[in-house]
Amino acid sequence: MKVFTKWISIETQKKFQQVPITDYVESILFESKIIDGMVLVYTGHTTVGIYLGNTDKYLPQDIESFLEEKVPNDPNYLHNVYGGGNASAHLKNLLVGVSVVIPVSEGKLELGEWQGIYLGEFDGPRKRRIAVKVMGEAKE
């Protein structure tokens, strides 16, 4: 089994932003030469998320509205009172998660017809790092 790791650097531009990263991940998969296995996409940041989503251009607005409704930045959160003032970004991270695993077959990501890989920024603008680890059988 081969393991190949590379990092993606993203500089977000807005407080709340969803950045498509599928093309970056596909490029790393191609570079890895792995044809059967899996890709792990992970971030260690606590105020962003990594998720699989529908590529519809209107969905990012719906996701933002949904998350803002479910987790508004309540000034009474203790982190806001005693810490960084971004408690809602940390809580959104808990809902969305920090990683996805995608199967690889015949050198291609096994994404659904409308699926894409996204970084969800909840406390930007910031510089973000995403680890992409490809594991599996390589071309001979």
CATH, residue 14: 2.60.120.460
Nearest-angstrom CA–CA distance, 52 and 22: 9
Beta strands in the chain (DSSP E): 2-11, 17-20, 34-42, 48-54, 99-105, 108-109, 115-121, 127-138
83 vs 36, which has greater pLDDT?
A: 36
Backbone φ/ψ region at 20: left (φ over 0), alpha (ψ -120 to 50), beta: beta
Q: What band does 139 get if pLDDT is binned at 50, 70 and 90? A: confident
Owner of token pair 């971030």: 43
Nearest-angstrom CA–CA distance, 96 and 81: 24
Nearest-angstrom CA–CA distance, 10 and 45: 12
pLDDT value at residue 140: 72
Mean pLDDT of the chain: 96
Q: What number of other Cβ atoms are within 10 A of residue 92's Cβ?
A: 25
Q: What's the average model confidence in pLDDT over 75-91?
A: 93
Interacting residues of 75 by C-beta distance below 8 A, sequence separation 6+: 81
- Longest CA–CA span in the chain (Å) reads 58
Number of domains in the chain: 1
Domain that holds residue 61: 2-138
